[in-house]
Amino acid sequence: MDTFKISKLSLPGVIRIEPKLRNDERGFSTNVYNAADFSACGIRTSFVEDFTSYSKKGVLRGLHFQRVPHLQDKLVRCAKGEIFDVAADCDPASPTYGQYVVNRLKGEEQTMLYIPGTYAHGFCVLSDDAVVEYKLSDTYHPESVGGARFDDPLLHIAWPVAEPIISEQDKSWQPLLHKSQA
């Protein structure tokens, strides 16, 4: 498989995917998804929905997840611009609770992250603006929505924006508990 370069990250199941870009004087073209290639590297998720967000510089979205029975595995790609992308384990029963991985995703590289639905996801925009595309394994279910604060003291994420632009919902998430409190 020479279409994608696959890198497994420190959180189990989180995978960085770098597609092979075909460049010429016009720009580039690439394959961003191929079920057979993804299955060969262990990603066997059936995606049911594509979702796109557009955000301006300094916007921070997340950290979001959906609870059982509506976990959403995500294939996240920055189609335009640059983002600081985070997958975090917010499940107190998990051995990696409180851990996270960070990746910069750039439209010019078309890099992607595969994030299992057991993790929270968020990103902030580093470029003037960004278009982020997701493939999702389940649709949105408001009754299953959960989240963690971007500035949660348990996670200690060093977001690269001084004054992020955050939604009211994202400001309202409760702090995660230390394992001794959970």
Three-state DSSP at 35 gives helix
Give the Cα separation of 133 and 50 in Å (integer).
7
97 catalytic residue (yes or no):
no
Three-state DSSP at 157 gives coil
Domain range for 148: 4-160
Q: Dump pLDDT digits (tens) for 109-142.
A: 999 999 999 999 999 999 999 999 999 999 999 9
Q: Find the range with the poorest average confidence among 17-21, 61-65, 76-80.
A: 17-21
Give me the torsion for CA of 66, 50, 132, 171, rounded to 10°: -30
| Residue 162 pLDDT > 70 | yes
Return the pLDDT at 181: 57
Tell me if 149 is assigned to some domain: yes
Tell me if 109 is assigned to some domain: yes
Catalytic residue of the set 100, 114, 119, 134: 134
User: Distances in Å between the alpha carbon of 104 and those of 25, 74, 127, 151?
Assistant: 26, 16, 11, 19
Catalytic residue of the set 64, 70, 100, 114: 64
Q: Find the range with the poorest average confidence among 22-36, 98-112, 124-138.
A: 22-36
User: How much is the pTM?
Assistant: 0.91
161 alpha carbon, distance to own chain's centre: 17
DSSP H or E run through 81: none
64 catalytic residue (yes or no):
yes
What CATH number is given to the structural domain containing 40?
2.60.120.10
User: CB-based contacts of 61: which residues, under 8 Å, 6+ apart?
Assistant: 53, 55, 122, 123, 124, 167, 170
User: Distances in Å between the alpha carbon of 126 and those of 78, 80, 164?
Assistant: 11, 11, 11
Quote the number of domains for the chain.
1
